[in-house]
Structure 1
Amino acid sequence: MAENRIERKRVLSRKSKSEDVKSVIENGVSARRTTITNSNVVSSKAQLSHMYGSLTETDLTFKIVQLGDSGVGKTCLLLKFRDNTFLSGNFISTVGIDYRNKVIEIDGTKVKLQIWDTAGQERFRSVTHAYYRDAHALLLLYDVTNKISFDNIRAWLAEIKEYAADDVVIMLLGNKTDCKNSERVVRKEDGENLAREYNVAFMETSAKTGLNVDLAFTAIARELLSKNSGESNKSSFKVQDYIREQTQKNTCVNCTI
């Protein structure tokens, strides 16, 4: 009887240890699964953030559509603003339409800019026209080294008048100012005069160096915020005044270095 009791205790002891080991293994697997799941969630959020912008909540969302002939630098401008990267090497045309999001903060207000990058080729015009109507702002680009792209601005403005909302905010951008002086065929004064004729904001940019890229989108966002707040008095925001003020400020800073 004594031997049976001893053997029984040994069996129970082995069973208890086995259950403890099983519990540890199961808990370990469970913890590992939780870690993997959390890791996947973090990874997914990171990928979504990279593709579509910050996942933080925003106060307002504005739709901005980029327009202009093929090759003027619309995609490069967007990527410079969105990711601070520049597409160098072979040129690849945008097919149809694409978009990116970026959240910026202006005077304590988080604003999500939904920026649509359109193809400049004639065969895609019927597709891009559909995106004019509900756009809050339009960035119209030309290439300062391409006279034809500048001459076509009037045709683009005619399309805007036909398809876009009457109160849409328009900004004219002369891009690729990083070019050599010998390559420039459109003077800054030409862009300023055309913008003045159509009563739209204007500045020159470079997607390569980043010149005025952030300023262009920030100025547009501030103008849209001003319109959204219903400001209509004399002290309301004036986008061209803001551009002039910021440009002079940056110039003065550079001059003192």
Structure 2
Amino acid sequence: MDEECDYLFKAVLIGDSGVGKSNMLSRFAKDEFRLDSKPTIGVEFAYRNIRVKDKLIKAQIWDTAGQERFRAITSSYYRGALGALLVYDITRRSSYESVGRWLVELREFGGEDMVVILVGNKCDLGESREVEEEEGKEFAETEGLCFMETSALKNLNVEQVFLQMITKILEITSQRSLEAKMDEKPINLLNGKEIHVADDDDEVTATKQAPCCY
């Protein structure tokens, strides 16, 4: 039977084409890895239910295309996202050099409270490394981001990086909910169930008691 989730969180995967975003999502959502993975066209997404402390969260993860010709399409998908994994390939310095440009776009279209984690993927290919781990850490610290290296192929830190993002989103959402109650802010009700809503021009991104399907 379906369970009822406490929250629905939307997050996005961004970064250059070929850095391994799709396989990271496949690992997280289905524990799968495809060596013949093809570039994402437009946007794809997957769901996974995950329990954090006493809350059951439905994570809706959007995998955005990294190719330039899809940038105008994908920018609209930042709307309503509460978190983002900004991914580069540690064996391709050009993908790391693009991180600053992606971050500008993310901050332009994303919300101010968005949780962003910088991810150096393919850390299993250490012999081909072009970006040192310390370099990624220092950039993340400078920009106020979290940082982690992962390997979708070896399934190293993939679960952890998604869980870290979702946990931080939950902390921020819970704090905002508490502040709203303290301010006696009106909360919309839908069929007797509590709904946390964003600003009027944003979509609903954190829903209380949403139907949760596996």
Alpha-carbon displacement from aligned partner over 1:110-165 (angstroms, at most 9, x marks no partner): 00000000000001011110011211001100000000000000000111121111
Deviation of the 1:176 alpha carbon: 0.3
In 1, Cα distance between equivalents of 2:98 and 2:157: 23
TM-score normalised by length of structure 1: 0.67
Instruction: Judging by fraction of residues, say which structure has more strand.
Output: 2
2:205 corresponds to which residue?
none
Does the 8 Å CA contact 2:23/2:37 hold for their aligned counterparts?
no
1:200 corresponds to which residue?
145
Does the 8 Å CA contact 2:12/2:62 hold for their aligned counterparts?
yes
Matching of residue 230 in structure 1 with residue 182 in structure 2: no
2:88 corresponds to which residue?
142
In 2, Cα distance between equivalents of 1:208 and 1:56: 31
In 2, Cα distance between equivalents of 1:70 and 1:193: 23
Does the 8 Å CA contact 2:90/2:122 hold for their aligned counterparts?
yes
In 2, Cα distance between equivalents of 1:182 and 1:125: 32
Closer, same or farther in 2 for the Cα pair 1:226/1:70, shift >3 Å?
same
In 2, Cα distance between equivalents of 1:99 and 1:69: 17
1:65 equivalent among 12, 25, 33: 12
Runs of 4+ residues over 3 Å off in structure 1: none
Q: What is the one-letter code of the residue matched to 1:222? A: T
1:132 equivalent among 68, 78, 100: 78
Alignment of 1:1-257 (within 5 A): 55-88=2-35, 90-179=36-125, 181-230=126-175
Deviation of the 1:99 alpha carbon: 0.3
Unaligned stretches of 5+ in structure 1?
1-53, 233-257
Does the 8 Å CA contact 2:10/2:83 hold for their aligned counterparts?
yes
In 2, Cα distance between equivalents of 1:169 and 1:86: 26
In 2, Cα distance between equivalents of 1:85 and 1:133: 28
2:189 corresponds to which residue?
none
Instruction: Judging by fraction of residues, say which structure has more helix.
Output: 1
1:237 corresponds to which residue?
none
Q: Percent identity?
A: 40
Secondary structure of 1:229's match? helix
In 2, Cα distance between equivalents of 1:59 and 1:74: 27
RMSD between superposed Cα atoms in Å: 1.4
Greater Cα radius of gyration, structure 1 or 2: 1
Residues matched between the structures, number: 177
In 1, Cα distance between equivalents of 2:158 and 2:38: 21
In 2, Cα distance between equivalents of 1:55 and 1:190: 44
Deviation of the 1:56 alpha carbon: 2.7
Alpha-carbon displacement from aligned partner over 1:60-82 (angstroms, at most 9, x marks no partner): 01001000000000000000111
TM-score normalised by length of structure 2: 0.80
Q: Greater relative contact order (Cα 8 A, min sep 6): structure 1 or 2?
A: 2
Alpha-carbon displacement from aligned partner over 1:2-46 (angstroms, at most 9, x marks no partner): xxxxxxxxxxxxxxxxxxxxxxxxxxxxxxxxxxxxxxxxxxxxx
In 2, Cα distance between equivalents of 1:65 and 1:173: 13
Deviation of the 1:101 alpha carbon: 0.3
2:201 corresponds to which residue?
none
Alpha-carbon displacement from aligned partner over 1:142-195 (angstroms, at most 9, x marks no partner): 00000000000000011112111111110000000111x331111001100110
In 1, Cα distance between equivalents of 2:175 and 2:71: 33
